[in-house]
Amino acid sequence: MSSLPPGAEKIDHIGIAVKDLDAAEKTYTQLLGVPPYKRETVASQQVVTSFFKIGESKIELLSPTAPESPIAKFLEKKGEGIHHLAFGVKDIVASLAKLKAQGFRLIHETPIQGADQKLIAFVHPKDTTGALIELCEPLQQGL
């Protein structure tokens, strides 16, 4: 179960940017056969999120709460679709330090409080072949 620290342990979730959270929740409830288990606003990111759990993995729907939200900008540029891929890590501070030492540009040099009781940080997509990568570490183990 344990891997070499500070590596990624699993795909924790996939983030999908949506314009209409109510409509997207209905779509994903039909698609996955389960309703979302929580809806949460993340003030620091100006988003409202909705989470679905499928086995070990989650789907995070993200919708902007303000025009200057990063998700609003993403929707403007690219439209709805996959926004980021999140890897679960055990020690996010150590993981960020390792990535930085390897030359990855970090959007967050230190982790911030994200949705779903997690510390999160993003790695710049220019250094990850275009995919926005999030690292996340649960604030409480066992979620």
* C-alpha triplet 87, 89, 100: angle, nearest 5°: 85
The residue (of 101 and 137) whose beta carbon lies closer to Zn ion is 137
Nearest to 13 by CA among 80, 88, 65: 88
Pick 6 or 135: Cβ nearer Zn ion: 135
* Residue 57 DSSP SS3: strand
Q: Site mask, Zn ion, residues 30-59, x = CB under 5 A? A: ------------------------------
Q: Choose the binding region for Zn ion from 11-19, 30-38, 89-97, 124-132 (rule: CB under 5 A).
A: 11-19
Enter the tokens of residue 137.
Answer: 């570490």
3-state DSSP call for residue 76? helix
**Identified binder of Zn ion from the candidate list 17, 21, 75, 86, rule CB under 5 A:** 86
Q: Which one, 6 or 16, has the nearer CB to Zn ion?
A: 16
Under the criterion CB under 5 A, does residue 88 sit at the interface with Zn ion?
no
CB 125 within 8 A of CB 133: yes
Give the interface with Zn ion as residue ranges (CB under 5 A): 15, 60, 86, 134
